[in-house]
Structure 1
């Protein structure tokens, strides 16, 4: 797989990473064996960046990654996150004491003495970005983390933190149906030498190989609470997505590969991390990094899925409480 640099001072990694959120069961029941097979498939395809967080299954995702590394003898570039404090209500804590304690737990579950990238999972309004950057810089000096990142933030927060200590990566949702980072965040990352890591680049499965059927989602599936997957909004979104599926078929590529190729084409500093717990889904991504979109391809994709086409918000009001909004 082609390689991209994880920030100006970071390691080279695969152009596409593996998002490990679903290892914890947020999108339905799973088991460690399925997750292990998904990681095997990813590694065989040349994927070297694995992305997780302490709250993914409340430690389950990190633990199964640790098991995979122990049993396979592989060491991917590891990214994990912390900041959430379970409630009720759920809140965000960027204090040095909280981040340090949570990082130590992550290292134990992963079975390593450091991670390559440690994100503040969300911004805590009570903690200035400059203070957060100082905490992360101390962890870097101590060898606990190789670099730090920020997630679901605005360009202003990035710039404030970066002034104190360079940010290695920013992780926000970005895909053909979530385009807000085009309002300055992707450009700010490029200007500062920061990697931009799109999560959910396949629209939480809506841009998977097969047409997505909300009716078959298991009770408790996170997507059932997202407005875009509900009622009339979802019906309208399906109509748009069907056109993109027709285009992928005409090009002779999988829907996920075409969607990932579009994300990769938005800048050399973008490293998308599609997520899955199913090995066959990982296989659908193969070749996306080598798929060159023509001017005609780009124009047709823009016609089918222009900026702002998606109906419904990407989060419920409660889920959006911890996300920085900007325009």
Structure 2
């Protein structure tokens, strides 16, 4: 599989990674045995990095990965995140980017993962009131302490990235990016390319809309996240299924799975992008990995964007509540 460097001077990673949120029931139940089978398949496909967070299943995802690594050894490069908190009394979400919290949260993640360091550590959501320069100094200290190989931020604006990069090189910014979410092209992709930062693209197949088996109303309503998400409620869901039918038809004409074509489009948009699809299904993972081997030229890219032009999606990517935390910049 093609590789891409993490940051300007970091290690080489497979061109796509695996997001491990799904193994904690975000889109449906998953057993530990299923997760282990999925991880084994990822290794067979040449995928060498896993992306998780301390809030995925409230530590469950990290614990499952830790038990897998205890059995298989250090076979993946690991990324995890911290910074999202919940008030124990009210359940309200808030963000803490203080040195004390990030250090404590990282230590807890390392214990769950069963490792003494991770390759990449993200601030999962930026605490708006705390200067990002201060947070970057904290993260740089964790690099110097050998607890993390590099660091990044999730869902920040290009202006925030530039401020952080003035303090210390930022290896990665994680953001939703796909044929259905093009906002990163309005400054974030460009900033990452200029600074040597990798844009780690989550939900690269549009939460299933850009696959050959997109969620129908029944599947969407069974998901705690999708049931309220604007793109998966009617009438938007039917409109989005109709729109993406054009993309599925194009993929079939080209003889590839729709998911593979969606991933390939991302990889060919910018050499700074590393997609991290999430799935519980080893067969779906193989389709996604196929995208890393597709060679797309100018004509193929044009046909894809003709099928799904900028702005095709019906509905916002988040509800008002889901937008709490990500930095809007356009």
Rounded to whole Å, the distance in 2 between the matches of 1:283 and 1:8 is: 29
Rounded to whole Å, the distance in 1 between the matches of 2:175 and 2:195 is: 16
Once the two structures are superposed, residues 84-127 of structure 1 have per-residue CA deviations (whole angstroms, 9 ceiling, x without a partner) of: 00133201111111111110110001000000000000110111
2:93 to 90, 93, 115: 90
Check if 1:325 corresponds to 2:328: yes
Rounded to whole Å, the distance in 2 between the matches of 1:95 and 1:258 is: 41
- 1:151 maps to 154
Deviation, 1:217, is: 4.2
Q: Which has the higher contact order (CA 8 A, sep 6+)?
A: 1
Rounded to whole Å, the distance in 1 between the matches of 2:204 and 2:128 is: 27
Contact in 2 for aligned 1:28/1:217 (Cα 8 Å) = no
Check if 1:250 corresponds to 2:286: no
Q: Which moved more, 1:68-77 or 1:226-235?
A: 68-77
Question: 5 Å matches for 1:87-166?
Answer: 87=87, 88-166=91-169
Rounded to whole Å, the distance in 1 between the matches of 2:223 and 2:248 is: 28
| SS state at 2:13 partner | strand
- 1:77 maps to 77
Question: 5 Å matches for 1:168-247?
Answer: 168-217=171-220, 219-247=222-250
| SS state at 1:271 partner | strand
Contact in 1 for aligned 2:211/2:248 (Cα 8 Å) = no
Contact in 1 for aligned 2:50/2:77 (Cα 8 Å) = yes
Contact in 2 for aligned 1:28/1:218 (Cα 8 Å) = no
Question: 5 Å matches for 1:254-265?
Answer: 254-265=257-268
Contact in 2 for aligned 1:52/1:61 (Cα 8 Å) = yes
Deviation, 1:303, is: 1.2
Once the two structures are superposed, residues 25-81 of structure 1 have per-residue CA deviations (whole angstroms, 9 ceiling, x without a partner) of: 111111111111111111100000110000001111111111111112242111000
Check if 1:267 corresponds to 2:273: no
Deviation, 1:208, is: 2.4
Rounded to whole Å, the distance in 1 between the matches of 2:208 and 2:224 is: 12
Deviation, 1:289, is: 1.3
Extract unaligned runs of 5+ from structure 1: none
| SS state at 1:116 partner | strand
Rounded to whole Å, the distance in 2 between the matches of 1:119 and 1:58 is: 16
Rounded to whole Å, the distance in 2 between the matches of 1:239 and 1:122 is: 34
TM-score, normalization: structure 1? 0.98
Rounded to whole Å, the distance in 1 between the matches of 2:42 and 2:248 is: 24
- 2:53 maps to 53
Once the two structures are superposed, residues 298-324 of structure 1 have per-residue CA deviations (whole angstroms, 9 ceiling, x without a partner) of: 111111111111111111101101110
TM-score, normalization: structure 2? 0.97
- 1:24 maps to 24
- 2:36 maps to 36
Deviation, 1:218, is: 6.2
Rounded to whole Å, the distance in 2 between the matches of 1:285 and 1:148 is: 26
Rounded to whole Å, the distance in 1 between the matches of 2:199 and 2:269 is: 10
Once the two structures are superposed, residues 211-259 of structure 1 have per-residue CA deviations (whole angstroms, 9 ceiling, x without a partner) of: 4313134634311121100101111111111000000000000111000
Q: How many residues were matched structurally? A: 327
Rounded to whole Å, the distance in 1 between the matches of 2:223 and 2:251 is: 31
Rounded to whole Å, the distance in 2 between the matches of 1:299 and 1:266 is: 11
| SS state at 1:223 partner | coil
Once the two structures are superposed, residues 252-300 of structure 1 have per-residue CA deviations (whole angstroms, 9 ceiling, x without a partner) of: 0011100000000011111100001221211112321121112221111
